[in-house]
Amino acid sequence: MELSIAGKKAVVTGGGAGIGREIALKFSRAGAAIAVCDVVKEGADKVAAEIVAARGQAKGYAVDVSSFAAVEAVCGQIAADLGGIDILVNNAGITRDNLLLRMSEDDFDRVIAVNLKGAFNFTKACIRGMMKNRWGRIINISSAIGQMGNAGQANYAAAKAGMIGLTKSAAKELASRNVTVNAVAPGFIATAMTEKLDPATREAYIQGIPLKRAGMPADVANACLFLASDLASYITGQVIRIDGGMLM
């Protein structure tokens, strides 16, 4: 066995930037054809173009992950374009931070709809083909916040914690068909989202990490590639933290 997913067809949601982009690029370099899904078509197309320019196979797709009808339609199109779906990475996510006392119902609902229901929608839309083929990999991008909580992020923490429950339940349902379902839980990763923090807050986060540095999108992508490969064929229902030891 080797760290390769050559010939596989992978869907990466939220693939137009940040961690999703890095996963799409990493998977392509490992031999997979990539469906780059993002709510912003330009972002998805840009990453797909990067992959094609590097002699990989990819196509961008615009989709609102919170709509099951939209997800079902795009997954049907992806399966037709690529010849099936073998690997799904549920990475799409948003934040709408505020203290509970000030958080609006819409801010709570929208984060749950995108981060958690989006993962359900894509999983449901993709698993029939995986089960039929008796091979599949589903990787959910949760967060250390879903395990530890965070002031001002009750909606985000609830969604990411929910992804862990979804991961474990789906893993139990799909194991008999050789479909594994795992989650990775990134900690403080250097992305456009964390770059928006003021320097003092950013430094406070880093000082709370035993490795004393922010993680990189590639750190998350490396773990995802391992879980997608045959090297991880006996791993399912697990949560792997990529957090530099922040949460022990």
Are 189 and 216 in contact, with CB atoms under 8 Å apart?
yes
From the candidates 61, 156, 205, 234, which is the catalytic residue?
156
Q: Please give the distance of CA 106 from its chain centroid, rounded to a whole number.
A: 23
User: What's the CA gap between 195 and 183, in Å, rounded?
Assistant: 24
Contact 186, 143 (CB under 8 A): yes
Q: How many Å apart are CA 134 and CA 86, to the nearest integer?
A: 10
The whole-angstrom separation of Cα 121 and Cα 67 is 7
What is the full DSSP assignment across the chain? --S--TT-EEEEETTTSHHHHHHHHHHHHTT-EEEEEESSHHHHHHHHHHHHHTT--EEEEE--TT-HHHHHHHHHHHHHHHT---EEEE---------TTT--HHHHHHHIIIIIIHHHHHHHHHHHHHHHHT-EEEEEE--THHHH--TT-HHHHHHHHHHHHHHHHHHHHHGGGTEEEEEEEE-SB-SHHHHTS-HHHHHHHHHTSTT-S-B-HHHHHHHHHHHHSGGGTT--S-EEEESTTS--
234 is catalytic: no
Active site residues: 156
